[in-house]
Structure 1
Amino acid sequence: MMAEITPPDPQTTETGTARYLLGMAVGFAVLLAVLLALPFNRYIAAQRAAGSEMFHARWVYERIHFDPAPIDVAIIGSSRMESGISPSLLQQLLSAKAGRTVHVANLSVVQAGRDYHDLLVHDLLNAHPEVRLLVLADDGFMVYSHPMFQEMASPGQIAAAPLLVNKFYFTNLLAVPYRNLLNAAGQVAPGWFGVDRNFRPAAYLGTGLDRTLGYRLPDGHWRNGNATMPLAQMQARAQANLATQNRFTISHLPFLPEEMQLAIDHHYMQSIADLARQRHVALAFVGLPMFGPADLPRNPRYFSRFGPDFLPTAWRNDAALYQDDTHLNRAGAILATRYLADQLAGLIPPARPATQGTTHGR
């Protein structure tokens, strides 16, 4: 005689499922808490871009934290500032005008994003209190989060980013646990992950790094220097960029006020301005022109509340000064740097007393 099969008790099944789901939720919460609590090394984080076009983020971190050479004027922006402003020439010109040495560092990193610029400014002014002037990029309406912000910001800084009109908010937030895990693993086994846990002077690219002279990307391609592009190709790219600009208002909610559309840029620009005011550091802006008759949409009146905004346009139709439709080459950089030196000469406050030293090696 076959034994009678007793059907499962629905209440018992539901209780077991609830316990299972509760256990999963608790386990996930504990795992998340552990990942968020892992020790985080920002120097290793700065090396996460080693294989990309942003690989100079490591040098920028090293120049700020490990190089005791003073910085009076810092350039902070995207690849357009990296390729368009020569720090060595600007230092030479400003020093001649001031009658003393004015130390200049171009701390720009490829790609735009004011959130990362805010991180750099806070690091810079804490490590180099002698800074007297910050020259920031006016790259038009900046609606992006910089990839290095995701890599280097603390979980609290990422969570505190503006949520409104920020399509990067949850992407950045969700990346934190895995990022922290990789960072901790790099601290335990740096050789496996191709990073240095501690500063190696032999690998440092030097105080006076001038990327307008040209350099090779990790993939071997040449960037900046005397590079040029055939005129027809440059004109075609400029037209394509113009079409993209015309779609800007459609893709970024034109019915909203500008301060809401540009919440990322305005939020971090205010943070930079507040810190600069506290530290008695002057601000200036420069928008290097793209090749061709049109450029990115800008609002210089917004930046003018923080400092002068210089928007040179005289050479925008001279293809010999560009390596592509967006970036100046070395010849263009010399012209732009001479222009900027003339504009900045009267803006640099006197040097701080020598007793206010800098702190490094952190």
Structure 2
Amino acid sequence: MVPLRAFRKILVVLAVALASAAVAAFLPDDPYQRWQLLDGTIHANARWIYERIHFDPKPIDVVFLGPSRMGAGVNAPRLAQALEARGLPSNVVNFSLPETGRNINWAVAEQLFAAKKPKLLVLGVIEKPSRYGHSAYKYLARRRDIVDPGYLADVNYVSDLIYLPFRQMRLFGAGWFPDAFGLARRFDPARYRGPSVDTTGSLVLPDGHVKDGENPASHDELVRGVRKLEGGNHPPFLPASLADVEFGDERHYVRKIAEMAQKNGVRVAFVFLPYYTGPSALADVQERTLYERYGPVLNAGFLSTHAEWYADYGHLTRHGAEVLTDWLVGPVAQWLGEAGT
């Protein structure tokens, strides 16, 4: 009888814990405070992204979304100047965030299309997408998107869901006592970074350290980085018919982003950004066929042979970013022209 009673007590405790977590998960929050949760981390640009979308009345004409290769590779203010000189729409932003995981781009796109209507959205793509979602998604995503990601093969689903009640409790408390939680309720124009931010020139590493992006890495450093990257890259384990299972994050959210863009009359394009000495042909881009359903895929594979343009194995120096940005002016101008027809 004693073991049975203990088992019942455990069940009661678990039931109470689950019920409490469920209640906490549905506590209300302020989206602006939610997008401040990553202040002080490598994803601190999240606050500026939200502020640019919701508090800056200037339109957004061209938006870049992608992983850190895109963030380090495209100088938005420089591209804006070049487009303005051509008499083209020139409000350009780079909303890329470090690390891979396409669901974080979807979180940004949801905010973007709720408040702005860009003319062109450019997604940065790499040779092989991650099998996992983004580590910061659970901080920024809407509650309903965490509860129901919309596809079955979400490897991060349990960990994201477990964190949700804790996030909501913090945000609920911050709604009443913002200073105590370090999350502002009101937008402060004095600390706003402006309508376009240059995300090139420095690399924020996963441990939080900032790496100099002004100068190229040494040959030995590049080789070590490439070996580590290639050692962690594995070809698909499952047959092509199950790609939506193995690479669900990339395939599901690229579709959602592109379809929402097209629904809003926004032109979609893709840019392939290689790592140093990596594959440089579009045929080497694993998901190229998927991308081409929604827009042209521009190949920046020429970068991969220029060690002098890489700050590390996968990210460009400031000068390398200027080379890439200047190279993008022509295609972006063409895409803008097509978007306006």
Common fold, TM-score beyond 0.5?
Answer: yes
In structure 2, the residue matched to 1:135 is 122
Superposition pairs for residues 262-277 of structure 1, below 5 Å? Answer: 262-277=247-262
Q: Could you say if the C-alpha distance between residues 217 and 106 of structure 1 is closer, same or farther in structure 2, counting changes exceeding 3 Å?
A: same
Superposition pairs for residues 128-277 of structure 1, below 5 Å? Answer: 128-129=116-117, 131-139=118-126, 140-162=128-150, 164-214=152-202, 221-223=209-211, 225-245=213-233, 248-249=234-235, 253-255=237-239, 257=241, 258-277=243-262
Q: Could you say if the C-alpha distance between residues 17 and 57 of structure 1 is closer, same or farther in structure 2, counting changes exceeding 3 Å?
A: same
Which residue identity does 2:265 align to in structure 1?
Answer: H
Compute the displacement of 1:274 (Å): 1.7
Please list every run of 5 or more consecutive structure 2 residues that lacks an aligned counterpart in the other structure: none
SS of equivalent to 2:269: strand
Compute the displacement of 1:299 (Å): 2.6
Select between 159-168 and 336-345 the one with higher mean Cα deviation: 159-168
Deviations 1:153-196 (CA, angstroms, capped at 9, x unpaired):
23321122255433211111111111111222222332233221
Which residue identity does 1:153 align to in structure 2?
Answer: A
Which residue identity does 1:136 align to in structure 2?
Answer: L
Residue pair 1:213, 1:225 contacting (<8 A) in 2 also: yes
Q: Could you say if the C-alpha distance between residues 261 and 21 of structure 1 is closer, same or farther in structure 2, counting changes exceeding 3 Å?
A: closer
Residue pair 2:79, 2:325 contacting (<8 A) in 1 also: yes
Deviations 1:30-84 (CA, angstroms, capped at 9, x unpaired):
4123202211122222222122211111111111111111110001112111110
Compute the displacement of 1:341 (Å): 1.4
In structure 2, the residue matched to 1:77 is 66
Measured on the aligned residues, the alpha-carbon RMSD in Å equals 2.6
Which entry has the higher C-alpha Rg, 1 or 2? 1
| Mapped partners of 2:167, 2:225: distance in 1 | 35
SS of equivalent to 2:170: helix
In structure 1, the residue matched to 2:273 is 288
Residue pair 2:120, 2:339 contacting (<8 A) in 1 also: no
Identity %: 29
In structure 2, the residue matched to 1:68 is 57
Compute the displacement of 1:347 (Å): 1.1
Which residue identity does 1:243 align to in structure 2?
Answer: G
Q: Could you say if the C-alpha distance between residues 175 and 226 of structure 1 is closer, same or farther in structure 2, counting changes exceeding 3 Å?
A: same
Which residue identity does 1:263 align to in structure 2?
Answer: G
Please list every run of 5 or more consecutive structure 1 residues that lacks an aligned counterpart in the other structure: 1-9, 353-362
Compute the displacement of 1:210 (Å): 0.8
Residue pair 1:87, 1:105 contacting (<8 A) in 2 also: yes
| Mapped partners of 2:22, 2:229: distance in 1 | 44
1:51 is aligned to 2:44: no
Q: Could you say if the C-alpha distance between residues 224 and 303 of structure 1 is closer, same or farther in structure 2, counting changes exceeding 3 Å?
A: farther
SS of equivalent to 1:310: strand
| Mapped partners of 1:185, 1:177: distance in 2 | 12
| Mapped partners of 1:110, 1:242: distance in 2 | 19
| Mapped partners of 1:227, 1:90: distance in 2 | 21
Q: Could you say if the C-alpha distance between residues 29 and 242 of structure 1 is closer, same or farther in structure 2, counting changes exceeding 3 Å?
A: closer
Select between 302-311 and 252-261 the one with higher mean Cα deviation: 252-261
Deviations 1:263-307 (CA, angstroms, capped at 9, x unpaired):
111111111122112111000011212111447853322201100
Residue pair 1:282, 1:349 contacting (<8 A) in 2 also: no
Q: TM-score, normalised by structure 2?
A: 0.89
| Mapped partners of 2:69, 2:272: distance in 1 | 9
Select between 333-342 and 204-213 the one with higher mean Cα deviation: 204-213
Residue pair 2:42, 2:208 contacting (<8 A) in 1 also: no
Compute the displacement of 1:150 (Å): 0.7
1:348 is aligned to 2:332: no
**Which of residues 299, 302, 318 is equivalent to 2:287?**
299
In structure 2, the residue matched to 1:118 is 106
